[in-house]
Structure 1
Amino acid sequence: MTLPMHTTSTGFLLPSIHSAPPFFTQQPNPATQATLTEYWTKLILSYARFRRLFTLRVEDAETTGGDWDEVLRNPRINRKLPPSHLQYIISQMVTKDLAVHEPAKQTRSVLLYWRLPEEWAEVLHEWASSTGQLNTIMTFYEIVEPPIPSELSSLPISLLKKVIVILTKTARAQVIAVADGEGVRFLPGTPGR
């Protein structure tokens, strides 16, 4: 029996494993659970990228009609991911540096790395170069809420700060104090310098 793939109302194509009832149940066999966790991780990160979602909370498994409803539930087979299982998946994602607890010092909410901070650093520097922002001081707000939407639109400030640290280490950015708090000057340096 082959399981069907399904396209959600937002246009995301769910993999066929999403139609398998055991996919929504924590498995007693460690090898089986590791495989399912890997599938869940890929599904969560690809969906987050598709929808531009940056945060996942354990409570999302209990929230009907939320941003994650299409992935964490499958009404066609009457299954949903229990919060305890989502908590386990989140912990594994953090262990593999694919997410980080946000805010820190709690374990129920994460910032997802559907792009690693190093990848975001390249996106940010390329954006600064292509939009003529090199050697210009910009506030963090101007970067994440630009007048013309970009790949950086709505990027969480905590992630932006990590990305800027990466750019400062390669001499491609400099943090500057501005009236509203912090800003950054992008420099034309080269990657990996």
Structure 2
Amino acid sequence: MASSLSPYTVPSGFLLPSIHSAPPFFTQQPNPTTQATVTEQWTRLILSYARHRNLFTMRIEDAETTGGDWDEILRNERIRRRLLPSHLSYILSSMVSKNLASYEPAKQTRSVLLHWRLPEEWAEVLHEWATSTGQLNTILTFYEIMEPAIPSPLSGIPVPLLRNAIGVLGKTGRAQIISIADGEGVRFFPRSGK
């Protein structure tokens, strides 16, 4: 039966690791050491799949309903297994404790923002985008960044992640949040010569 444990490419083009074909992978393990390994593997899988599909949010409901963005990894019909909501909740809690996700909105534990890029990485992506598109020294709304006319790596980025990235750039003098008529905007500055 071990031969069935092989990597598998799902319709989105994502390559699932061979562990995804092992039934125990979908079950919370009683042994803490084994569960820690399973949680680490699920964490890597969730973050790499989110990056592949440009997904920012995961909810406990994703394990309960079919037809969602996460079906390809939360279910394996070939072995008739799916991740249970309680197990997903445990994994997301572990990810939050390691700063690989954050509960959003705050004060609840059923929905997270996934940190498949750290705020510092988003800051570099954001500044590179602003530089390459000629947006330095102009004021942009958050919407113009999140929903650009030409799709970019920032398309669809949630406001909390965008705000964190701008905060990182602000500390190095490369961005500043500006109050504008319909909310907030941001101005980007060239990288200083220091």
Please confirm whether the aligned pair reaches a TM-score higher than 0.5, indicating the same fold: yes
Aligned length: 192
Matched with 2:113 is 111
Residue 19 of structure 2: which of 1, 4, 17 is its match? Answer: 17
Identity %: 72
Letter in 1 for 2:64: E
Letter in 1 for 2:130: A
Structure 1 distance, partners of 2:82, 2:142, is 38
Whether 1:40 aligns to 2:46 is: no
Give how far 1:189 is off.
Answer: 2.9
Residue 68 of structure 1: which of 70, 78, 90 is its match? Answer: 70
Matched with 2:30 is 28
Give CA deviations for 1:10-32 in whole Å, capped at 9, x if unaligned: 11111000000000000011110
3-state DSSP class of the match of 2:40? Answer: helix
Q: How does 1:159-174 map to 2 (within 5 A)?
A: 159-174=161-176
Residue 141 of structure 1: which of 143, 153, 173 is its match? Answer: 143
CA RMSD of aligned residues (A): 1.2
Letter in 2 for 1:37: T
Matched with 1:124 is 126
Give CA deviations for 1:82-110 in whole Å, capped at 9, x if unaligned: 00000000000000000000000001100
Give how far 1:158 is off.
Answer: 1.6
3-state DSSP class of the match of 1:184? Answer: strand
The alpha-carbon distance between structure 1 residues 4 and 107, as it changes in their structure 2 partners (threshold 3 A), is: same
3-state DSSP class of the match of 1:18? Answer: helix
Matched with 1:85 is 87
Give CA deviations for 1:126-153 in whole Å, capped at 9, x if unaligned: 1111111111111000111111111011
3-state DSSP class of the match of 2:112? Answer: strand
Structure 2 distance, partners of 1:189, 1:182, is 22
Letter in 2 for 1:98: L
Structure 2 distance, partners of 1:106, 1:28, is 26
Could you tell me which runs of 5 or more consecutive residues in structure 1 were left unpaired when the two chains were aligned: none
Letter in 2 for 1:103: P
Structure 2 distance, partners of 1:145, 1:80, is 34
